[in-house]
Amino acid sequence: MLALPLVAILVAPALVRAAFQPPLPAFRHLVTFGDSYTDVENPMDGGTAWPVYAARDGNLALHPFAKSGGTCSNNITFRPSPSVMESQIPAFKSAALRLPQGATVYTLWIGTNDVGASALLTGNDPGFSVVDTTACAVDWIRIMHSLGARNFIFQNMIPLQLTQLYSANSFPNRFWSFQRNTTEWSVFMTELTLAGNALSKLMLQALAPTLPGSHIALFDSHALFTDMFNHPSRYLNGTAPLNVTGSINQCVFESDNGGPVGGVCAPATADNAVRDSFLWWDELHPSEQADRIVAREMVKAMRGNTRWATWIS
C-alpha cells in the first residue's frame, strides 16, 4: 500500500470539505442595517449610498433599515439616533416583509459611532468597552436568524484613523470642534478598530456552527479601505489629483476652550469628475466613489468571488 505524505493526509480533509461546500444562493433581496455609511434616505457620501448601487448592479430588491447616527445599542453607547437593537430590528419586524429567505441576504455595517467621539473614544460610556459593542453587533446575526434570516454579510469597521476626524493631523471640524490630542485619538482609534475587528472575526467563527442552515460572510471593510488609501489609482477615477487625506466637503472650525466660535466650510464641488478623485466626502464619511467600490465588492461577495469577503459558513 502506497503511504501518503503526512502533509497530504492533513490537507486532504480540508480539500474534501471545500469541494462539497454548498454553492451560495442566487440572491434576489438585500436587507441592510447600520449607520450613516449605509443609510439610503440620508446618504452621507454627497450622492447615492452604496446599497442603492449594489441593488442596481446585483439586480436585487432593496429593503433598507440603516439610519444615520446609529450605534448597535443605545443601552451600550447612547446616541439620540435609531440604533440597530432598539430601533432598526423592531422596524424590520414591524414591516412584516414576506421574503424568500433562501434568496435574501442581510447586511450590517456598524461600529463607527460606537467607537468614536462622544462614545468609547472619549469615555462617554463608562463600564462598556469594544468587547461589548462588538458582541452586540455579532448578536445581530443570532437575532435575525431567530426571525428567519439565513444569509448574512457582516461588514467590519474601516480604518477610522485614516479619516480626517481621527487622523493625527486632524483639526476642529463639524464633528468635533474642541481641542484634543489628535495623535492620542489616532492611536486609540487604530487600536479600537483593530481590536473590534479581530474580536468580531473570532465571535463570528464561534457563532456560525450554532446557526443551522446559515451562510455567514465577513466583509473586510478595513482591508478594502486600507487598500483604497494606499493605492488610490486602483479605485478613484476623477479628473483632479487623487486625494485620500482631504475631503470634498471639509469644514474647519475655530475654537476655544468654551467651544466653537465659527467655522469655514470649503464649497463642495458639484463636478462629479472632480469629486470622484476623493476617498472621503467629509471628515468622517467615504465619498460616493468609495461607496461605488463598496457596492461593487459587496455584489461580488454575494457571488463568492471577491478577495475582500470570506464565507465562514
pLDDT 10s digits, 235-278: 999 999 999 999 999 998 875 554 445 667 776 677 878 999 99
How high is the pLDDT of residue 6? Answer: 36
CB 279 within 8 A of CB 290: yes
**242 found inside a domain:** no
How high is the pLDDT of residue 75? Answer: 97
CA dist., res. 128 & res. 113, Å (int): 14
Q: What is the pTM of this model?
A: 0.90
How high is the pLDDT of residue 260? Answer: 46
How high is the pLDDT of residue 259? Answer: 47
**146 found inside a domain:** yes
CA dist., res. 215 & res. 171, Å (int): 42
Domain of residue 102, residue span: 28-170+179-233+287-311
Spatial CA neighbour of 34 closest among 62, 77, 65: 65
Spatial CA neighbour of 207 closest among 218, 193, 196: 218
**1 found inside a domain:** no
**304 found inside a domain:** yes
- Sequence length of the chain is 313
Spatial CA neighbour of 116 closest among 294, 308, 283, 229: 283
pLDDT lower than 50: segments of the chain? 1-21, 258-260
Q: What are phi and psi of 177, to 5 degrees?
A: -100, 0
How high is the pLDDT of residue 22? Answer: 52
* Domain of residue 55, CATH code: 3.40.50.1110
- Domains contained in the chain, number: 1
**254 found inside a domain:** no
Which H or E run includes 190? helix 182-207
* Residues sharing a CB contact under 8 Å with residue 67, sequence separation 6 or more, in sequence order: 35, 39, 42, 81, 82, 87, 88
How high is the pLDDT of residue 268? Answer: 67
**265 found inside a domain:** no
Strand-pair partners of 215: 151
Q: Write the DSSP symbol of residue 87.
A: I
**261 found inside a domain:** no
How high is the pLDDT of residue 21? Answer: 46
Q: Judge residue 155's burial from the number of C-beta atoms within 10 Å of its C-beta, 0-12 exposed, 13-18 middle, 19 or more buried.
A: buried
How high is the pLDDT of residue 262? Answer: 62
CB 156 within 8 A of CB 216: no
C-alpha cell at 162: 485614516
Spatial CA neighbour of 103 closest among 155, 39, 59, 54: 59
How high is the pLDDT of residue 153? Answer: 98
CB 154 within 8 A of CB 217: yes
